[in-house]
Every structure is written in structure tokens, then in C-alpha cells.
Amino acid sequence: MFDTFRSSSKLIRSFTGHTDTVWTIDYSIFDDRQFICSGSFDQTIRVWDVDNNKQIQSFNGHQTVANCVKFSSYHHHHHQNVICSASNDITIRFWDFKRNKKIQIFNKHTGSVNGIEFSPFNVGRYLCSGSDDNTIRLWDVKTSKSLHIFNGHENG
């Protein structure tokens, strides 16, 4: 089965723009259009319009590598085009890629933020983040508050 898939697969699109390793990507559909967001060692977050094969936005707010990017399901439900990024600079940032602006920063971690995930319930209102500070935090995206810190990990 895998050999059949591999032999019939082909490159559909290629996007260029980052100047260093792309570390993370995510995919979503807004208003029947396909988008990819990407984060890189070049410290930028970029948004790509898949259907038109072009970059539509670039954000330069992180001080170091972007470890994780996700389209915000919470904001999508509220008809906003927002991505969220986590970085070694110990921040989580929210970017409105339609209006080209930063809209929120979560900065309670004390180590690199390595991963983020929106809740599959409550239309993505809650965000979990994992960090090198050996914690997982639960955030309320609507209020921008850290709701709980899960301790117990011995490593990031």
C-alpha cells in the first residue's frame, strides 16, 4: 500500500520565503480558501495562500526560533483569521493575518515554549502549552489568562 502511494505521489506546491530551516507548519481553510502557516529558525511566521501559490503575510516578533504554529480554532469560530506561535523566546503570540497585526502575547512561561494545542471542545477556547520550564499551562484564549499550571515533568 505504501509503495503504491509513494510511487504515485508528486509535488503539488512549493513555497519559498524563509531564510532558514522551517520547523513547524499547520493547515486550515478560511472562507473556502486553503492556507498554510509556517514557523522557522529565521524567527519569522509566514502565512501562505495555497490556492494562489503565494505568501500573503510575514510576522517578525519572536526573538528566536518559532517552535510551533497553529491556526486558532477559537478565533476562526469568531470569523477572525488568527494564527498562534510559540517560541524559544518564552512567548506565545497571536497574529491576525488578515489585518497584519499582533493581537495577544502570553508570557508566563520561564523557558522555551515547545508546543501548543487548541482544545477540541468549546470551539478551541482553551490552549495548552508545553515548555522547557518543565510545565504545561492551560490558557483561556478569550480572557488571555493562565488557568492552571501542570507540574511534575522532570524535563522540558
- Name the average pLDDT for the chain: 92
What is the model's pLDDT at position 6? 63
What is the model's pLDDT at position 13? 82
- 91-133 confidence digits (pLDDT tens): 999 999 999 999 999 999 999 999 999 999 999 999 999 999 9
CATH T-level assignment (fold) for domain 22-115:
Lipocalin (2.40.128)
- 46-60 confidence digits (pLDDT tens): 999 999 999 999 999
What is the model's pLDDT at position 2? 61
CB atoms within 10 A of CB 133: 18
DSSP 32-79: TEEEEEEEETTS-EEEEETTTTEEEEEE---SS-EEEEEE-HHHHHTT
- 22-38 confidence digits (pLDDT tens): 999 999 998 899 999 99
